[in-house]
């Protein structure tokens, strides 16, 4: 544990005017309060708050935040009180410590509905003072750095929570270095063998190619000096998890992955940044489609930089980020740059985002949303999204998440425009509404009077704002029909447990499920947004099982006409839990495809055959076949272990076919019967973690493989 003098010295490095006595007093107070408490590792507990404070000094944060770090567990875990902390260190510090305590008490890894409510509380705490979440992130970072002392089950829980919530939150705040470290520490717990395989391949690559980073940084410095540009150049290999994620996203092996090195050029001014870009593009060939200018179009968290990818030495692709020193400071600390100090005064960084405006923009679209699941979905979409910048016909810039469609663009302009959308043009050419918008494109929305949102738009839209607006409009259009259907479903469900669906019972259920009125409850029940099991359990939990509604195969899909049957498309084999689209066939009823199935493009010119459908939200009784492609080592016992792992995941193997046999590996296709997409993801993660499995992928037929005629 570092001493109080060492901690004060760290603060003085960037803030010579720090109140050293106040920090020393907080150090002594925290140490006294935690006396006799120990961490899982056996170290004195106070080593943890000190380490958290040290992490925050790296971001040059103010005295109040450093003192909060030292005291962040005192109100929760010791005899210290809010009043005592406020009297001794001021109301500002006491409020911050209290905010961190409340965040700590949120069980963010609990089940979905509870998690949505916790996200609300998390954003409320952030909106009060963003420094609360900065302390919490530093707290989580140190806990992840020392996680080995915890029980394996606790390690896995904390790692998953970190990967799902804290890492993307750090990224959304612009603290990319912290996001990368949190992800990598969680990756080390969740998939240690996968991480080790990346590291081993890196070591092998360095042996074969030498110090690539040193050579490329040297080449860049030479080119910049030739152009008379004064700049610093840094290079690094990307983190193992970042490489793993690229491998999964691009479905490529390590040997085929090109941009595993990243380089930064730090210039003196904005003009030099563009000159440096020109010098680099003159020396190396730019990779098409891999250029982004976040200087002219900054991200909402203040991030500014030029990103380009070039073919460097030996044809290797390298990613280059170019920015000024001030931009770099914001890129390193994100929204935290607002509080950073230098030479005893708060840094006047022109690129640092006002935290109040930033958090307001983040929470604005969620404030009116009452449905917990929809709120949680919207939060996750926004937290994990990257951005694209597109233009209106008048030249105004609109920022959207990566993967956004013209539907998202229309709703970003105005809800009324979104509701009336009937088509779109991108760069003057008419395109389908599901087209993904790319950076720099001009988008024009075509509207028509009398148009209303379609159910299929939910599978097209990606932003929380658009999806929320579409759902509300659909509920309004279909409300009367859904209320009648919901009433029948409720009556039947309550009769099933020998009870009656009286007005009082339904009012009780509506209050328990927090959906407002009885009509709202019935409308959501009729629309299959909540299940009859949920409604009955809200009033009579002792009469319902924990399994949920068991859905028979013929009721598995919602949206079919009376007497209409369905079958799963063999090309994409959709599972419950996935977004689906129905296509009508003569004599076959409806064939259900996954919403991302490549074969749907064959039916673009036949919109009359498209059916808006979705899976029933209850527990599905049937098992559905899915084909997995596996590449496994050719060693004794490997296939037996693979079959055992599949069985342990409660999946049944219905067929197995070897498609390639080599001396060192086998390639095989395994047909497994699964309950839903969650079971599929769990099974694939388990197989990926097996050391003798080189590759596992879900098999999907391409359009040219076979044709289906209507």
Q: Whole-angstrom Cα distance, residue 110 to residue 107?
A: 6
In degrees, to the nearest 5, what angle opens at C-alpha 681 toward C-alphas 675 and 687? 110
In degrees, to the nearest 5, what angle opens at C-alpha 470 toward C-alphas 401 and 392? 45
Average confidence score pLDDT of the chain:
82
What would the pLDDT profile of 477-506 be if each residue is shown by its tens digit? 767 777 887 888 888 778 777 788 888 889
The CB density around residue 182, as the number of other CB atoms within 10 Å, is 27
Nearest of 251, 589, 607 to residue 434 by alpha carbon = 607
Regions of the chain with pLDDT less than 50? 110-114, 255-256, 368, 546-548, 705-710
Q: Distance of alpha carbon 488 from its chain centroid, rounded?
A: 38
| Residues recognised as catalytic | 76-77
What would the pLDDT profile of 393-437 be if each residue is shown by its tens digit? 887 778 787 788 999 999 988 989 999 998 899 888 888 888 888
User: What is the structure's pLDDT at 280?
Assistant: 93
Q: Which CATH number fits domain 623-698: 3.30.420.40, 3.30.2130.30, 3.30.70.260, 3.40.1050.10?
A: 3.30.70.260
Domain layout of the chain by residue ranges: 4-188, 194-346, 385-462, 549-621, 623-698
- For the chain, counts of helices (H) and of strands (E): 28, 25
In our burial notation (b when 16+ CB lie closer than 10 A, e otherwise), range 417-437 reads ebbbbeebebeeeebebbbeb
User: What is the structure's pLDDT at 375?
Assistant: 54
Residue 197 makes CB contacts below 8 A (sequence gap 6+) with none
Residue 370 makes CB contacts below 8 A (sequence gap 6+) with 514, 515, 516
240 within 8 A of 181, measured Cβ to Cβ:
no
Task: Give, for 63, the enclosing helix (H) or strand (E).
Answer: helix 63-71
Q: Whole-angstrom Cα distance, residue 303 to residue 329?
A: 10
Residue reference for tokens 């005017």: 17
User: Alpha helix (H) ranges present in 564-692?
Assistant: 638-648, 677-689
**Domain 385-462 homologous superfamily, CATH:** Beta-grasp domain (3.10.20.30)
Q: Whole-angstrom Cα distance, residue 511 to residue 430?
A: 47
Q: Distance of alpha carbon 520 from its chain centroid, rounded?
A: 30
CATH number of 194-346: 3.30.460.10
513 within 8 A of 534, measured Cβ to Cβ:
yes
User: What is the structure's pLDDT at 546?
Assistant: 46
453 within 8 A of 408, measured Cβ to Cβ:
no
Q: Distance of alpha carbon 600 from its chain centroid, rounded?
A: 26
User: What is the structure's pLDDT at 275?
Assistant: 95
User: What is the structure's pLDDT at 385?
Assistant: 52
Q: Which CATH architecture has domain 4-188?
A: Orthogonal Bundle (1.10)
């Amino acid at each position: 544990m570092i001493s109080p003098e060492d901690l004060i010295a760290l603060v003085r490095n960037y803030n010579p005017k720090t109140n050293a006595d106040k920090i020393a007093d907080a150090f002594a107070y925290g140490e006294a309060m935690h006396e006799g408490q120990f961490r899982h590792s056996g170290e004195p507990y106070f080593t943890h708050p000190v380490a958290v404070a040290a992490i925050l000094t790296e971001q040059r944060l103010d005295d109040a935040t450093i003192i909060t770090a030292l005291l962040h567990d005192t109100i929760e875990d010791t005899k210290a009180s809010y009043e005592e902390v406020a009297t001794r260190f001021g109301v500002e510090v006491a409020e911050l410590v209290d905010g961190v305590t409340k965040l700590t008490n949120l069980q963010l890894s609990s089940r979905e509905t509870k998690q949505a409510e916790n996200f609300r509380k998390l954003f409320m705490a952030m909106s009060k003072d963003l420094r609360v979440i900065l302390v919490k992130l530093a707290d989580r970072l140190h806990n992840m750095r020392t996680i080995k002392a915890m029980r394996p089950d606790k390690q896995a829980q904390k790692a998953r929570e970190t990967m799902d919530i804290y890492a993307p939150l750090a990224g959304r705040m612009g603290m990319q270095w912290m996001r990368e470290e949190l992800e990598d520490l969680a990756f080390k717990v969740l998939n240690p063998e996968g991480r080790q395989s990346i590291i081993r391949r890196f070591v092998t690559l360095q042996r074969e190619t030498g110090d690539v980073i040193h050579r490329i940084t040297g080449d860049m410095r030479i080119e910049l000096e030739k152009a008379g540009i004064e700049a610093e150049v840094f290079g690094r290999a990307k983190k193992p998890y970042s490489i793993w994620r690229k491998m999964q996203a691009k479905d490529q092996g390590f040997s085929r992955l090109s941009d595993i090195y990243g380089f930064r050029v730090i210039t003196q001014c904005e003009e030099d940044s563009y000159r440096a870009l020109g010098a680099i593009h003159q020396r190396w060939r730019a990779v098409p489609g891999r250029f982004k200018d976040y200087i002219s179009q900054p991200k909402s968290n203040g991030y500014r930089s030029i990103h380009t990818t070039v073919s460097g030495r030996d044809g290797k692709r390298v990613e280059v980020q170019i920015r000024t020193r001030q931009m770099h400071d914001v890129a390193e600390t994100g929204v935290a740059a607002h509080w950073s100090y230098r030479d005893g005064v708060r840094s006047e960084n022109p690129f640092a985002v006002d935290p109040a405006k930033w958090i307001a923009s983040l929470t604005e679209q969620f404030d009116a949303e009452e449905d917990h699941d929809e709120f949680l979905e919207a939060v996750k979409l926004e937290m994990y999204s990257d951005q694209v910048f597109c233009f209106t016909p008048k030249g105004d810039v609109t920022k959207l998440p990566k993967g956004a469609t013209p539907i998202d663009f229309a709703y970003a302009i105005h809800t009324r425009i979104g509701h009336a959308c009937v088509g779109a043009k991108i760069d003057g050419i008419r395109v389908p509404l599901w087209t993904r918008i790319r950076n720099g494109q001009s988008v024009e929305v075509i509207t028509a009077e009398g148009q209303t949102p379609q159910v299929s738009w939910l599978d097209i839209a990606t932003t929380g704002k658009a999806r929320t607006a579409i759902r509300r409009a659909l509920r309004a259009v279909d409300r009367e029909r859904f209320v009648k259907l919901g009433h029948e479903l409720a009556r039947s469900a309550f009769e099933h447990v020998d009870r009656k669906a009286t007005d009082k019972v339904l009012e009780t259920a509506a209050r328990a499920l927090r959906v407002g009125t009885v009509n709202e409850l019935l409308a959501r029940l009729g629309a299959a947004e909540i299940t009859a099991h949920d409604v009955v359990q809200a009033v009579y939990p002792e009469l319902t099982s924990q399994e949920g509604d068991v859905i028979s195969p013929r009721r598995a899909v919602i949206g079919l006409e009376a007497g209409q049957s369905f079958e799963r498309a063999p090309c994409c084999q959709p599972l419950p839990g996935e977004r689906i689209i129905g296509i009508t066939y003569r004599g076959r009823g409806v064939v259900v495809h996954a919403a991302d199935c490549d074969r749907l493009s064959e039916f673009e010119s036949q919109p009359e055959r498209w059916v808006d459908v979705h899976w029933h939200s209850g527990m599905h009784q049937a098992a559905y076949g899915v084909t997995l492609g596996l590449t496994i080592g050719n060693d004794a016992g490997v296939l037996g272990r693979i079959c055992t792992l599949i069985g342990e995941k409660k999946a049944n193997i219905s067929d197995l076919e070897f498609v390639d046999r080599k001396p060192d590996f086998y390639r095989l296709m395994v047909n497994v019967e699964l309950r839903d997409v969650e079971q599929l993801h769990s099974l694939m993660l388990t197989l990926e973690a097996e050391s003798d499995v080189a590759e596992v992928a879900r098999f999907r037929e391409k359009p040219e493989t076979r044709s289906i005629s209507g």
